[in-house]
Amino acid sequence: MKLQWRIAAIVAVFGLLAVLSANAILYRFLKTHDMSEIKRNSRRTAHLIRAAILNTMINTGDYDSIASIINEMRKSRDFEFRMIRAKHVIKQHGVKRGEVPRDEYERKALATGEIVEVMDTKSIHRIIYPFITDQRCGKCHLGMDGKAVPPGVVNGAAVIRFDISRLQEDTDKIIFNLAISMSIITALFFVFFLLVINRTVSAPMTRIAEAITGLKDENYDVDLPRYSATEIEIMARDVESTASDLAGKKRLRDAEIKASRARTMEIEEFIRSRAQTLGLEEDDARLSNIVGRLSVVVDEAQKGILTAKASKYVISEQSRLILPSDPGLIPAVSVYLLGLVEANPEAAKKVAVELAVDEALSNAIYHGNLEIPSPLKSDDFEKFYELADKRMRQEPYSSRTVDVQYKLDSDGLEVVIKDEGVGFDWRKFTDNSADANDRPYGRGLVMMREFASRIEFNEKGNRVALSFDFESSQPSL
């Protein structure tokens, strides 16, 4: 699903939930508020009816007058009215129009003198309004004992049943119209919000995504507009920068491919020319093989030239190698370290590094970790290497390692080689006498001393530090 449709779906869902929630809250609030207002109006009407009836009863006591008042008030409100009488009033005047209480609510009003309200149905609101005697009522009303009723006695009550269905219908219509209006306004707001999001977020993100997808197809012609959103603007500029970098790399790669093809054609032309000069037959298969091999040689030579160029600008470099006691790794490590000084114009210095490191690694592995005596090599050459091969697979020799650390800077190269052997007395080989040079062993130390600028051993003799100065060729020990 595209980003625009995802955002549209999210906005639509949240918009629908917002509309439903807002309408539910609005309906509940208005319904509660209007019901409270309807009941309040019913109480006011009931109070007016009671006051009018009480005034008529005190002045005339005429039921027809009371009925006339009730009918007049029904013109503005829809209600039913009847009177109920207390027991002492029924005893005195009897029952004329069914003035007896009909349920516990009416009996409660007569017993307590409190106003009682009850919803008989969802649309019928009944109010029971008691009539309580004062000093004037004792003239006309007698108690159960035949004496004048004292003040504070309930003589009867007005039962008024209001039909509020029409008012509720009006309220529902108002709520419905408000809900429709609110829904339309909310929908318009979310449509506007969606348009803004589409313009400021989804459309720019889609365009950026298309540009990124185009990069996979090597379409580096990316020109994105400026965006007001900071995050999207940063992303757009990053994509443009990436496209520009990739375009530059593609141009370089194309140039390299073009140069390689041209070089291959030159080599092929040269070989064909030499073959014709020498009168040799041209075999396309052999010719292609020779051209391919020469191309590889040329490429490796160019890589070496480029590496040498970069090496001139190396200020400092250091690393560490942990080697097993395998003599087969000696040439590899020597060549690796030799590559560090490829930029040094002194060819002799390169040879010095290679030969001195070879001898130091040989001493560390053969005489240090494998503990093969030096005289054995001159006495029995084959036995020397047989013993080395055996001890490479025998404990404790096989688990020993050689720690090679180097540091390269503008002054020179320092190589530190440490083995895990028992060491040796290096002081016996520090003199420059003819006897030292004529010994059948120890010549490796002499070579190290000659080729390195400085040599330093630790006290135990299982660690040697070789220093090669790029500007000074004076060796010392």
- Interval 230-286: pLDDT, tens: 888 888 888 888 888 888 888 888 888 888 788 778 777 776 676 667 665 555 555
Q: Which has the closest alpha carbon to 4: 239, 175, 221, 202?
A: 202
Q: Provide the sign of the torsion angle of the four alpha carbons 389, 394, 395, 400, taken in this order.
A: positive
| Positions of the chain with pLDDT lower than 70, given as ranges | 1-4, 57-63, 137-139, 271-272, 274-276, 278-315, 342-349, 430-443, 471-477
Identify the burial level of 95 via C-beta atoms within 10 angstroms of its C-beta, where 0-12 means exposed, 13-18 middle and 19 or more buried: exposed
43 class by beta-carbon count within 10 Å (0-12 exposed, 13-18 middle, 19+ buried): middle
Q: What number of helices (H) and strands (E) belong to the chain?
A: 14, 9
Q: How far apart are CA 414 and CA 463, in angstroms?
A: 13
Q: What is the pLDDT of residue 294?
A: 58
**Pick from 177, 229, 225, 165: which is nearest to 201 by CA?**
229
State residue 422's pLDDT score: 92
Q: 395 and 362 in contact (C-beta within 8 Å)?
A: no
Residue 433: the pLDDT is 47
User: Could you give the 3-state DSSP secondary structure of residue 406?
Assistant: strand
The burial of 222, by beta-carbon neighbours within 10 Å (0-12 exposed, 13-18 middle, 19 or more buried), is given as buried
378-407: b (≥16 Cβ within 10 Å) or e = eeeeeebeebbeebbeeeebeebbbebebb
| Long-range contacts of the stretch 237-243 (C-beta < 8 A, 24+) | 239/208, 239/211, 239/212, 239/215, 242/215, 243/211, 243/215
DSSP for 332-352?
HHHHHHHHHTTT-S-HHHHHH
Q: Using omega within 30 degrees of 0 as the cis cutoff, is the peptide bond preceding 324 cis?
A: no
Residue 353 tokens read as 């590094």
What pLDDT is recorded for position 434?
46
Q: For the segment 302-347, what is each residue's pLDDT rounded down to a tens digit? A: 655 555 565 566 667 788 899 998 888 888 888 788 777 765 555 4
pTM of the model: 0.39
pLDDT the model gives residue 390: 92
